[in-house]
């Protein structure tokens, strides 16, 4: 028996070593680094306690990045979730060409984010299609394009993000819808429940675990937004987000590892609190009502 246990441990050893080396060690090391003035180029560094954290909380660039991250997350998560649910309800119905719609909605989420970002940068540019359509509809569009205007850049990226990710969450909602037993709807129908009542009393409550998963995953993803910003604006025009700030501080120009690590841990705590709040909110009642 003991021999079997040893062999089992041996089998898991490669994963344990990899996990320790590439996940646990960097996690602990970067946490400790947040309390130092470490810079990649400097040969020495020293322990400075909470100085990085207190400096960050007074750093207007970091606070602005946090604000933008919250705007991005709080602006995209509800829209993406609601749209994904509506699309899932739509493509869950029987109609001709349903498969085409399902695939069509899902394709953006499997396309390279860099490619999508480049295409949207073009669409949002001066004289691009978005500006053209906006002008045709009588809207005033930014003179230099949507991404070169502090008032529209972040929202334009958010719109792209919603377009790109809604199909993925739609698919997850669709799986959730398929798991709801038909008997429940039949019984409700016999009892005279209207389709609206069925939606609010059966569909929505039973989708709660799926919705929780989507909200948590989408929150983490939104708080970590980086690629879109890197490709489309480089953090300019009021689009600097927390992860882009960390990248700029830690991996460009001055390579301030200590400062960037502290910023990363502040973001880590925020994401943790946000995720925990969602879990608590959804676990309050077990009767599947919202």
Site of interaction with other proteins (CB under 8 A) = 39-43, 126, 143-144, 148-150, 234, 236-238, 251-255
What does the chain come to in residues?
290
* Closer to other proteins by Cβ: residue 46 or 289: 46
Least distance to other proteins from the beta carbon of 17, Å? 22
Residue 125 has φ and ψ, to the nearest 5°, of -70, 170
* Closer to other proteins by Cβ: residue 3 or 252: 252
Instruction: Residue 151: count other Cβ atoms within 10 Å of its Cβ.
Output: 10
Residues paired with 125 in a beta bridge: 145
Q: Do residues 260 and 253 make contact, with C-beta atoms less than 8 angstroms apart?
A: no
The three-state secondary structure class of 260 is: helix
* Closer to other proteins by Cβ: residue 251 or 277: 251
Residue 101 has φ and ψ, to the nearest 5°, of -65, -45
Least distance to other proteins from the beta carbon of 167, Å? 31
* Closer to other proteins by Cβ: residue 91 or 229: 229
Least distance to other proteins from the beta carbon of 213, Å? 36
Q: Do residues 278 and 215 make contact, with C-beta atoms less than 8 angstroms apart?
A: yes
Least distance to other proteins from the beta carbon of 255, Å? 6
Least distance to other proteins from the beta carbon of 96, Å? 45
The three-state secondary structure class of 179 is: coil
* Closer to other proteins by Cβ: residue 149 or 217: 149
Q: What share of the chain is helix, strand, coil (3-state, %, to 5)?
A: 75, 0, 25
């Amino acid at each position: 028996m003991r021999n079997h246990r040893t062999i089992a441990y041996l089998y898991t050893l490669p994963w344990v070593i990899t996990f320790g080396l590439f996940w646990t060690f960097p996690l602990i090391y970067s946490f400790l680094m947040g309390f130092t003035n470490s810079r990649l180029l400097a040969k020495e560094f020293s322990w400075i306690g909470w100085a990085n954290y207190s400096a960050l909380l007074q750093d207007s660039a970091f606070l602005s990045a946090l604000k933008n991250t919250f705007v991005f997350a709080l602006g995209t998560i509800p829209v993406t979730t609601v749209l994904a649910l509506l699309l899932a309800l739509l493509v869950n119905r029987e109609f001709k060409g349903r498969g085409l719609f399902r695939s069509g909605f899902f394709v953006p989420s499997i396309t390279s984010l860099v490619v999508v970002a480049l295409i949207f940068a073009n669409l949002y540019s001066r004289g691009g299609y978005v500006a053209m359509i906006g002008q045709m509809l009588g809207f005033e569009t930014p003179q230099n394009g949507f991404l070169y205007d502090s008032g529209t850049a972040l929202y334009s990226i958010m719109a792209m993000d919603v377009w790109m990710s809604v199909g993925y969450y739609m698919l997850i909602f669709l799986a959730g819808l398929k798991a709801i037993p038909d008997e429940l709807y039949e019984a409700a129908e016999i009892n005279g429940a209207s389709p609206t009542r069925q939606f609010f009393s059966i569909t929505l409550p039973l989708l709660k675990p799926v919705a929780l998963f989507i909200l948590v995953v989408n929150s983490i993803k939104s708080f970590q937004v980086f690629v879109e910003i890197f490709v489309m604006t480089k953090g300019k025009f009021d689009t600097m987000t927390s992860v882009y700030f960390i990248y700029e501080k830690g991996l460009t120009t001055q390579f301030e590892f200590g400062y960037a690590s502290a910023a990363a841990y502040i973001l880590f705590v925020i994401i943790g609190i946000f995720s925990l709040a969602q879990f608590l909110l959804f676990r309050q009642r077990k009767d599947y009502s919202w």
